[in-house]
């Protein structure tokens, strides 16, 4: 139960952080991608603000035996860069530009995003459900 | 406009705090596409309650706090084709790549993960090229 409560709190802080930072505003996200137009640097500040404490957390984790409420930390980061990583990231970037939302903000903005936000989430969940079959296709040597 | 970056930094710190808490308390990487996708494709059903609690918090706390504090807007396009195709591509792409802005971006870059950095470079490049074409060449966005 304590793990669920920690998850709930982490999720809540995450949602507030996304909303405060402006990342639930598709105009700001599309502005970040608009390097050929009116470029909006806000997303860079959000990333720096998030990466600095997280780098510290990784440093602390490396000096702990196990997490406070768990038995083990995540394994070391993988180093294999395959077609699934590249193709998946390109498809994600494409969709990100079209609508200006990524998975976190799609959840955080659900209460104030109206019908459009719900439609985006529904389409995103459908995409997630379709991913395993695309992954299987890519894994086959002859496409 | 000039204070937008301050809100970005403050919000970013909260995102980093959340990711730190999830790692140090639960021993997990805070990746939203993974947390959510595992519930969709059943690969994460063994620890569904933790995933659901995180997702619920992400939706519910802004819902509780925002009416009281300020009015947030998404400015999402009213073009449903863009909304639906964007959502589908974000869903399938992040699951294929095993991560999105939170997992690869925040959690990956902060431990100098090659996969995280590569993914982030590719989704930002793909996004910038798409937006440039759609907005400045074809005039759609």
Q: What confidence tens digit (pLDDT) does each residue in B50-102 have?
A: 999 999 999 999 999 877 666 789 999 999 999 999 999 999 999 999 999 99
- What would the DSSP string read from start to end of B110-136? TTT-HHHHHHHHHHHHHHHHHHHIIII
Please check whether residue B32 lies inside any domain of the structure.
no
Please tell me what DSSP assigns to residue A102: -
Q: Which residue has the tokens 């059943």?
A: B42
A13-32 pLDDT per residue, tens: 999 999 999 999 999 999 99
Asked if the structure places residue B100 within a domain, the reply is yes
For the segment B106-117, what is each residue's pLDDT rounded down to a tens digit? 999 999 999 999
Range of the domain at B117: 76-141
Token pair 């690969």 is found at B43
Residue B57 Rama label (left phi>0; alpha psi -120 to 50; beta): alpha
Which residue range forms the structural domain that includes residue A122?
Answer: 2-139
Please indicate if any CB of chain A lies within 8 Å of the CB of B101. yes
Q: Is A125 touching B (CB cutoff 8 A)?
A: yes
Q: Any chain B CB within 8 A of the CB of A143?
A: no
Average model confidence (pLDDT) for chain A? 95
| Chain B touched by A106 (CB under 8 Å) | yes
Query: Which residues of B, range 28-87, sit inside 8 Å of A by Cβ?
Result: 28-30, 32-33, 36-37, 40-41, 49-51, 53-63, 65-66, 71-78, 80, 82-87
pLDDT (tens digit, 9 = 90+) per residue, A59-91?
999 999 999 999 999 999 999 999 999 999 999
Partners of residue A15 in chain B, C-beta under 8 Å: 57-62
| Residue-level pLDDT at B68 | 66
- What is the per-residue pLDDT for A71? 95
pLDDT at residue B25 is higher than 80 = yes
Residue B17 forms part of a structural domain: no
Is residue A57 within 8 Å of residue B46, measured between CB atoms? no
35-74 in chain A: CB under 8 A from chain B:
35-37, 40-58, 60-61, 64, 66-74
B141 falls within a domain = yes
Number of domains in chain B: 1
Residue B113 lies in a domain: yes
Q: Residue B114: CA atoms inside 13 Å, Cβ hemisphere, count?
A: 6
pLDDT greater than 60 at residue A143: no
The arithmetic mean of pLDDT across residues B19-35, rounded, is 98
Residue B117 lies in a domain: yes
Cβ B131–A20 below 8 Å, yes or no?
Answer: no
Q: How confident is the model at residue A132 (pLDDT cuts 50, 70, 90)?
A: very high
Please give the torsion angle defined by the CA atoms of residues B124, B125, B129 and B135, in that order, rounded to the nearest 10 degrees: 20
Binned at pLDDT 50, 70 and 90, residue A123 comes out as very high
B92: in domain: yes
Chain B residue with minimum CA distance to A47: B12
Does residue B57 lie within any of the structural domains? no
| Cβ distance of A43 and B84 shorter than 8 Å | no
Pairwise CA distance, residues A84 & A104, whole Å = 21
How many domains are contained in chain A?
Answer: 1
The predicted pLDDT at position B51 comes to: 98
**Above pLDDT 70, what percent of chain B?**
96
């Amino acid at each position: 139960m304590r793990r669920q409560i920690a998850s709930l709190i982490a999720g809540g802080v995450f949602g507030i952080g996304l909303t405060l930072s402006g990342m639930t505003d598709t105009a700001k996200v599309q502005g970040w991608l608009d390097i050929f137009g009116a470029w909006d640097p806000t997303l860079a500040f959000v990333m720096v603000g998030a990466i600095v404490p997280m780098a510290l957390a990784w440093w602390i984790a490396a000096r702990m035996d196990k997490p406070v409420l768990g038995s083990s930390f995540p394994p070391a980061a993988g180093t294999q860069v395959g077609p699934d990583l590249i193709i998946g990231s390109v498809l994600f970037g494409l969709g990100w530009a079209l609508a200006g939302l990524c998975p976190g903000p799609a959840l955080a903005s659900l209460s104030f995003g109206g019908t459009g936000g719900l439609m985006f989430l529904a389409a995103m969940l459908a995409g997630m459900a379709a991913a395993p079959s695309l992954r299987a296709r890519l894994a086959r040597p002859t496409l | 406009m000039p204070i937008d970056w301050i809100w970005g930094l403050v919000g970013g710190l909260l995102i980093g705090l959340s990711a730190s808490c999830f790692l140090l308390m639960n021993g997990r990487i805070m990746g939203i596409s993974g947390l959510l996708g595992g519930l969709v494709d059943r690969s994460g059903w063994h620890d569904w309650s933790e995933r659901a609690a995180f997702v619920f918090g992400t939706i519910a706390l802004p819902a509780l706090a925002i009416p009281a504090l300020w009015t947030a807007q998404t400015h999402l396009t009213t073009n449903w084709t863009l909304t639906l195709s964007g959502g589908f591509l974000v869903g399938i792409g992040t699951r294929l790549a095993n991560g999105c802005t939170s997992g690869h971006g925040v959690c990956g870059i902060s431990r100098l993960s090659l996969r995280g950095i590569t993914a982030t470079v590719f989704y930002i490049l793909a996004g910038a090229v798409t937006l440039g074409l759609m907005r400045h060449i074809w005039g759609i966005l």
